[in-house]
Structure 1
């Protein structure tokens, strides 16, 4: 296990506290932000022909989407819309990873930005405090 500097340790503790104190909607927003970050890294890695880095970051995005799918409460009609969206994104991520296709990564990143932005608006409409949005 690597030894962290005092600054790194403080930042890691801050991130952990931020996650542990977040509400459900805020955690969902963090997941969307994480997926976008990993897609950005994957896109850059594909451009630089870093196949392993692209693969790892697409897989991280796939895991986030899988988690989001598993947390859907299907008793609400809107959950089916999210399921359809996440299912499409999952299929496209597999295709992007198999072919290391930057265009698909860019497409999915666009969808994730739109989903994230809509989620922020839903949070605001429901008076959920949105930090750093």
Structure 2
């Protein structure tokens, strides 16, 4: 029951979100899946960890697909996304925990920066 309510909430959240808010949801999903993968790694549950990391890689692929290449920063973001996508694949082979921490730090930074940018835009719209 609780899971169904959460799924419905997420569905409404996604359907009513702006493109910027959707990007934030993707970043937050990355962080959530990485935290889960880190926990699964610590428990030695590598099959579940790999599933969580495949979700992260799918999110990164979605972020790459949605980049607007008309802006110079999009190329920089694409390179970063591709780097971390390869880095996750390398972690899945080497299983060196510090690598997972690096990706988590990157994802948290993106989520926080994006959240501030959205908040700043909303504040600017209210005063404009």
TM-score by length of 2: 0.89
Q: Tell me the SS of whatever aligns to 1:73.
A: coil
Pairwise CA distance, 1:12: 2.4
CA–CA separation in structure 2 for the residues paired with 1:57 and 1:11: 19
Structure 1, residues 15-61: CA drift from partner, whole Å, max 9, x if none?
21111111111111010011001101111111111010110011100
1:87 aligns with 2:77: no
Structure 2, unmatched stretches of 5+, are 124-128
Q: Moved runs in structure 1, 4+ residues, more than 4 A?
A: none
In 1: Cα distance, 2:41 partner to 2:98 partner: 10
Q: Is the 8 A contact 1:54 1:100 kept in 2?
A: no
- Computed over aligned residues only, the root mean square deviation of the Cα atoms, in angstroms, reads 1.7
Q: How many residues align?
A: 124
Separation (CA, whole Å) in 2 of partners of 1:70 and 1:12: 24
Give the alignment of 1:26-105 within 5 angstroms.
26-105=21-100
What TM-score comes out, normalization by structure 1 length? Answer: 0.86
Mark the runs of 5 or more structure 1 residues left unpaired by the alignment: 129-133
Separation in structure 2 between the aligned mates of residue 41 and residue 10 of structure 1, nearest angstrom:
21
